[in-house]
Amino acid sequence: MSVPSRPGMAGRPEVTAFYDKRTSSLQYVVADPATRACAIIDPVLDFDEKSGATATRSADAMLDFIREQRLRLDWILDTHPHADHFSAAGYLHDTTGAPTAIGEHVVKVQQLWKRLYNYPDGFPTDGRQSSRLFADGDRFRIGDLEAAVMFSPGHTMASITYVIGDAAFIHDTLFMPDGGTARADFPGGDAKALWASIQRIIALPDATRLFTGHDYQPGGRKVAWESTVAQQKTENAHLRGQDEASFVKLRIERDRTLPMPKLILSSLQVNITGGRLPQAESDGRRNLKIPLDALGDAPWD
């Protein structure tokens, strides 16, 4: 499904959300209403873990939308190496030629998961799989819209927030207010760092539109993805009445009860390589590598 935001104005991008029900993921096309330049944020490459099949339906739906709206794709952006879906950044780059980008600390995630997968010494861990690696404070443009990068670690070591005009794309740092905050127990995660990242995000102007990367529809409500800084400060289920110490305690205790995402071991080996599937082997087939007993004793269900 795709739903556009209200029409844009100067400094206000048009944001269209594409919801992937299979992974509860939100992908975005962010457009400058003046120049019709756009960016794709956090695209999903379809994967069926039961059959091992892959497809490009989700990414192609965004490309169809871009063509229909006569937009020009300037950027393909990921907020972090995802643990619950494959990134379609590699496919979109090969299809369109648009540059890809992610935060510069992806190299730390590559190094960590290289060890977990026992990849050979020649496996590149310098971020070369992306066209650009963003540092905290970096700026770039989508048409006439100025975009800024905020380093937002905690959920992962490499998470970043894209602030584009009056909108911020926060992915797993904050969910909708009734969904709380992201977990911080993946390899390289840190609840204290997550708290600090959240404080930077909610220090943005109260009217800033916040776009999350997942919605798990608490209570069975309809899918939602847009809130404001003001709403998050007053309504977020994991922030109300908390200070750093109580939040860290809440986050750690909650994370101990959560099973690992079903695709974490599948998706990280794709996403640390810029959303590219493994190379085909001698029989022409691509194979995923699943290290056993690598993630400790997380709950099974």
Instruction: State which amino acid sits at residue 128.
Output: R
Rounded-to-integer distance, Cα 81 and Cα 267, Å: 9
SS3 103: strand
Enumerate residues 6+ apart whose C-beta is below 8 A from 188.
Answer: 108, 109, 112, 156, 157
Q: Residue 26 is part of which domain span?
A: 2-271
Residue 155 domain-assigned (yes or no): yes
Residue whose pair of structure tokens reads 């379609």 in the numeric block: 88
Which secondary structure element, helix H or strand E, spans residue 87, and what is its range?
A: strand 86-87
Q: Which residues pair with 149 in a beta bridge?
A: 162
Residue 224 domain-assigned (yes or no): yes
Number of compact structural domains in the chain: 1
Which secondary structure element, helix H or strand E, spans residue 161, and what is its range?
A: strand 160-164
Residue 299 domain-assigned (yes or no): no
Residue 226 domain-assigned (yes or no): yes
Residue 290 domain-assigned (yes or no): no
Residue 288 domain-assigned (yes or no): no
Contact 210, 168 (CB under 8 A): yes
Enumerate residues 6+ apart whose C-beta is below 8 A from 179.
Answer: 212, 215, 216, 218, 237
Residue 35 domain-assigned (yes or no): yes
Residue whose pair of structure tokens reads 């003001």 in the numeric block: 230
CA distances 57 to 80, 204, 213, Å, are: 22, 35, 18
Which runs of consecutive H residues, i.e. helices, occur in the chain? 57-68, 89-96, 106-117, 191-201, 229-235, 244-255, 264-271
CATH at 47: 3.60.15.10
Rounded-to-integer distance, Cα 83 and Cα 68, Å: 31
Residue 164 domain-assigned (yes or no): yes
Per residue of the chain (301 residues), what is the pLDDT tens digit? 544 444 333 489 999 999 999 999 999 999 999 999 999 999 999 999 999 999 999 999 999 999 999 999 999 999 999 999 999 999 999 999 999 999 999 999 999 999 999 999 999 999 999 999 999 999 999 999 999 999 999 999 999 999 999 999 998 999 999 999 999 999 999 999 999 999 999 999 999 999 999 999 999 999 999 999 999 999 999 999 999 999 999 999 999 999 999 999 999 999 999 999 999 999 999 999 999 999 988 898 8
The whole-number pLDDT of residue 91 equals 98
Of 187, 301, 212, 299, the C-alpha closest to 253 is 299
- Indicate the pTM of the whole model: 0.94
Q: Which two tokens stand for residue 184?
A: 């911080």
Contact 288, 264 (CB under 8 A): no
